[in-house]
Amino acid sequence: MTADHDMLWRRCAHLGRVLLPVVDEEEWRQSRRHERLEGWGIGVTEGERLIEVFAALAAHAVAVDRSVSAAGLDVLPLSAVADAVTGKRDFELLAGLPDTFADRRDELAVKVFRLNTYRGGQYSRRLFQLGAEVHRALTVLAERSRMPSPRCGHIFFWAAAAGLPSDPEDQTS
């Protein structure tokens, strides 16, 4: 694992962590998401953490597929990440991940995602539902944007404008 690849994962994880707070600019979005999670029998805390890691995995998969560096993550189109959420199989999102994670929360969330992937049945359905939430969030941001083709860097910009932590190193535990 190169230092850049490790940094790529950290930036993708950071993108996942700021996605929902940026989408929740309109407060009603959060309550609707919570209603959907509860309706599916998924705890809000667990569901939102899995949404975060799902977004990170999708961004990471696209970046790895396109041989994008950590610095280049900013230029990945949100549409490409949204397409990966719905177009890649769950286990494909796990390819190329770091062997170890600097953040224990990331490591645990990836393990839970991996477990859901390989258990199948209702767990696959759960991932499908969570993927729909990630896709919805990315679509909302793309539609809200004034840019014709918003990119991952825009999420970081919007997060900074909202006062969210911008340094991935601040997110490690």
Classify residue 169: in a domain, yes or no.
no
Classify residue 30: in a domain, yes or no.
yes
Classify residue 168: in a domain, yes or no.
no
Can you say how many angstroms the Cα of residue 29 is from the centroid of all Cα atoms in its chain? 17
Classify residue 173: in a domain, yes or no.
no
Can you say how many angstroms the Cα of residue 152 is from the centroid of all Cα atoms in its chain? 11
- Between CA 57 and CA 120, with CA 97 as vertex, the angle to 5 degrees is 60
How many Å apart are CA 36 and CA 28, to the nearest integer? 12
Classify residue 170: in a domain, yes or no.
no
pLDDT tier for residue 167 given thresholds of 50, 70 and 90: low
Classify residue 87: in a domain, yes or no.
yes
Give the pLDDT confidence of 103-133 residue by residue, as tens digits.
Answer: 899 999 999 999 999 998 898 899 999 999 9
Classify residue 172: in a domain, yes or no.
no
Per the structure, how many domains does the chain have? 1
What range does the domain containing 85 cover?
Answer: 3-163
Taken as a whole, the chain contains a residue count of 173
pLDDT for position 120: 82
Which of 68-77, 82-91, 96-105 is the least confident region? 96-105
Please tell me the pTM assigned to this model.
Answer: 0.91
Question: Would the pLDDT of 170 be above 90?
Answer: no
